[in-house]
Amino acid sequence: MILPKRKADLVRHLLPPREWEKIQAYAVQDAGFGTDTFGTNVDLLGFAYALGYWLHRHYFRVVSAGHEHIPAQGAGVVVGNHSGVLPYDAVMLGVDVFKNGDPPRLMRYMVDYFVYQMPFMGVIFRSLGQMPGTRRNFDGLVEEGHLVGIFPEGAEALGKPAAKRYELYPFSHGHVELAARHGVPVVPFGLVGAEEQMTMVADLKPIARALRLPYFPVTTTFPWFGPLGLLPKPVRYYIHYGEPLEIDPGVLRSIEIRTREVDRVREAVADCIDVGLRKRKEHEEGPA
């Protein structure tokens, strides 16, 4: 990914040399006007990674393991839990995959439609390589060998109350059907920490419906402190990637097999969350 000189100089000063080299080495197939066929903007991607890297290292201080389970090349579906009121967890997961991949790989999320109804947000998400969650978009990404990120709990899980921390909501089944149809692995992950970054105390459903949002949060800091109330606590994130799962092609023919495979993925994600919770406890307690 070759940035224009002035923009490149700015991004280079925001990143350590090793991370700058990753940005330079990342290949975007320019389909014209500086974007790939999915609308990924090479300039914006560089700036976004520079900001994400700072948050990953200094704010959320991410501890992660299991990177060897993420395919170094070819398509794959990365599936896990979602939480935290605002999707900082998705940002940090994407940065973590790019940062620890060899070669670095861009995570392409299947994004809920409501995001693309918000002014400017759809353009920004698409420029960063993120796509509306349609079957056709999934097919196109997988056929070109990309990593696709999916949160099967849906956007509602972001508004999970404190009483349900680290309880998984029911999983949708699209990820197993699509993985089976294309014959690509599902890589489960568990992310610990985001549940504590914001505490949601209420959901103003009338406002959410009026704005066509899945929820409208009231937290311990928002709306009381205005926009600053949307800044998460600097909690430490723990991410664990599990072994890839090969999905039984029978999910395309049998509801029973489909249900079984969805449950298998959900259990793998739950296991990864348990690993993260243990890791956090060990880190907090320190050496005996």
221-245 pLDDT, tens digit each: 888 888 888 899 999 999 999 999 9
24-78 pLDDT, tens digit each: 777 677 666 667 777 777 777 888 888 999 999 999 999 999 999 999 999 999 9
pLDDT recorded at residue 93: 97
Q: What is the spatial distance between Cα 62 and Cα 146, in angstroms, rounded to a whole number? A: 24
Domains defined along the chain, listed by start:
61-197+232-285 (3.40.1130.10)
pLDDT recorded at residue 285: 80
User: For residue 11, what pLDDT band results from cuts at 50, 70 and 90?
Assistant: low
Q: Each residue of 77-116: b (16+ CB within 10 Å) or e? A: bbbbbbbbbbbbbbbbbbbbbbbbbeebbbbbbbbbeebb
Average of pLDDT values for 255-281?
97
pLDDT recorded at residue 7: 58
Enter the pTM of the model. 0.90
* Helix ranges, the chain (H): 5-14, 17-25, 42-54, 88-100, 113-116, 121-127, 135-143, 174-182, 205-211, 255-285
pLDDT recorded at residue 200: 85
Cβ(37)–Cβ(31) below 8 Å: yes
Q: Provide the 8-state DSSP code for 233.
A: P
128-172 pLDDT, tens digit each: 878 877 888 888 889 989 999 999 998 888 888 888 889 999 999
Does 288 have pLDDT greater than 60? no
User: For residue 195, what pLDDT band results from cuts at 50, 70 and 90?
Assistant: very high
Does 118 have pLDDT greater than 60? yes
Q: What is the spatial distance between Cα 28 and Cα 130, in angstroms, rounded to a whole number? A: 14
Mean residue pLDDT across the chain: 87
Does 126 have pLDDT greater than 60? yes
Angle CA 159–147–186, to nearest 5: 75
Average of pLDDT values for 174-200?
94
Q: What is the spatial distance between Cα 125 and Cα 5, in angstroms, rounded to a whole number? A: 24
Pick from 151, 181, 143: nearest CA to 168: 151
81-94 pLDDT, tens digit each: 999 998 999 999 99
Q: What is the spatial distance between Cα 193 and Cα 213, in angstroms, rounded to a whole number? A: 24
